[in-house]
Amino acid sequence: MQLAREELEQAYRQMKTIREFEDHLHREIAKGTIGGFTHLYGGQEAIAVGVCENLRDTDYITSTHRGHGHCIAKGCDVNGMMKELYGRADGLCKGKGGSMHVADMDVGMLGANGIVGGGPPLATGAALAAKLDGKGGVALSFGGDGSCNQGPVFESMNIAAILNLPSIYVYENNRYSEHTGASYVIASESIASRVEGFGIHTVKANGFDFFEVHEVMKELIAKCREGNGPCAVEFETTRFYGHFEGDPQNYRGPDEVKNDRENNDCVKIFRSKVTEAGLLSDEDLDKIDNEVINLIETSAEEAAAAPAPSPEEVTTDVYVSY
C-alpha cells in the first residue's frame, strides 16, 4: 500500500464511479428507459481500476461486452458514456455504439467488444504498434473466463510471444460465462496454467483486493514496458448482477451473490483496508461517495434530456471517405 493519498482517493473514486454508474443502469434498465443488451461490471471494479491506474493515456486497452468498468477506469468521459448508453447524439460514439461498443481513442480505449474474444487480437496489434513506436507503451486486453476458450485469443497470445510484444492478457474469472460454470468449459486446471503453456509468464491473483491487483499489475506492466514480452494474469472475481440485465441468475448458488456482496465486495474491502490503516478516513470516503453520486445523477439527467441522433446519421461514419 505504498500509494500516495491522491492515488488512493483517485482509485476509490474510480471504483465508486463504476459501482454507481452500474447501479444506476440497473435501476434504469428495469424501468425500460434504456434499450439494447447491457452487461454490468458491478463487483469487479477492483480489477479495472487496479489495472488501469498503472496505465498511461498512451497505453492501449481493449475491453469486452462487460466494458463500462474498463472504460471508466481508462478515463472515458462518464457523461459521454452515459449519453451513449441512452443512445444520444452527443454520446461518446454518437449513439451508434451503445453499451457494447463504447470507445475513446483519445485515452487509448480501443473499444468494448460484443464478440467474446474479440479484444485480445486487437490488443496484440496495438502492442505491435507500441513496440514499433519504441516509447515503452503497452497494450492490455481484458477478457472473461469464457473468452479463454476462443481460438483467436490463443492465436494472439502465441503471436505476442513469438514477436516479444508488450501485450498483457488479463482474465477476469467471475466463475461464469453467461450461465455456464468456468470449471466445466475450461479443460485445464486453470486459465493461468493453460496460458503458461504458451510460454507466457502468468500470475494468479485475488481480484477482490484492489491493492493486490495494483501491485501485481505494477510489476507486470513495468516489465512489459522494458521489453520483456507478453504476460498474463488470472484474477478471481465475482459479478453482482446477472449476466445481462434481466437474467434471473438461477444457475448461481442460493447464497452465492449474497455472500459475495457481504464478503467479497471490492469497494467495501478497499474501504476497510484504507480506514483500518489510517490512510483515508470514513469522511474522506463519504465525501467522494457524495461527489460520485452527484456526478452520476447529473449525468443521467443530462443524458435523459439530451437529443437523439437525427436519422440521417445512420449512414455517416461508415468510412473516412467513400
Ligand X SMILES: Cc1ncc(C[n+]2csc(CCOP(=O)(O)OP(=O)(O)O)c2C)c(N)n1
> What does the per-residue mask of binding to ligand X show for 12-51, with x meaning CB under 6 A?
---------------------------x------------
Minimum CB distance to ligand X, residue 117 (Å): 6
Which of a copy of itself, ligand X, other proteins, none sits in contact with 174, Cβ below 5 to 8 A by type? Answer: ligand X
Per CB under 8 A, does 196 bind a copy of itself?
A: yes
Among 194, 243, 252, 271, binds a copy of itself (CB under 8 A): 194
Among 14, 38, 141, 174, binds ligand X (CB under 6 A): 174
Among 1, 132, 185, 308, binds a copy of itself (CB under 8 A): 185
Per CB under 5 A, does 174 bind Mg ion?
A: yes
| Cα dihedral 172, 176, 178, 184 sign | positive
Residue matched to cell numbers 507466457: 200
Neighbours of 287 (CB within 10 A): 13
CA distance 25 to 43: 14
Residue matched to cell numbers 453467461: 178
Per CB under 5 A, does 238 bind Mg ion?
A: no
Among 13, 23, 77, 149, binds a copy of itself (CB under 8 A): 149
Which of other proteins, Mg ion, a copy of itself, none sits in contact with 111, Cβ below 5 to 8 A by type? Answer: other proteins
Minimum CB distance to ligand X, residue 143 (Å): 6
Per CB under 8 A, does 197 bind a copy of itself?
A: yes
Work out the angle between the directed axes of helices 5-31 and 266-276 (0-180°, nearest 10): 150
CA distance 258 to 264: 10
C-alpha cell at 2: 505504498
Closest CA to 138 of 225, 40, 206: 225
Closest CA to 274 of 46, 24, 19: 46
Closest CA to 14 of 297, 260, 296, 302: 296
Per CB under 5 A, does 144 bind Mg ion?
A: yes
Per CB under 8 A, does 110 bind a copy of itself?
A: no
Per CB under 5 A, does 145 bind Mg ion?
A: yes
Bridge partners, residue 169, by sequence: 141, 232
Enumerate binding residues for ligand X (CB under 6 A).
Answer: 39, 65-66, 114-116, 144-147, 174, 176-178, 243
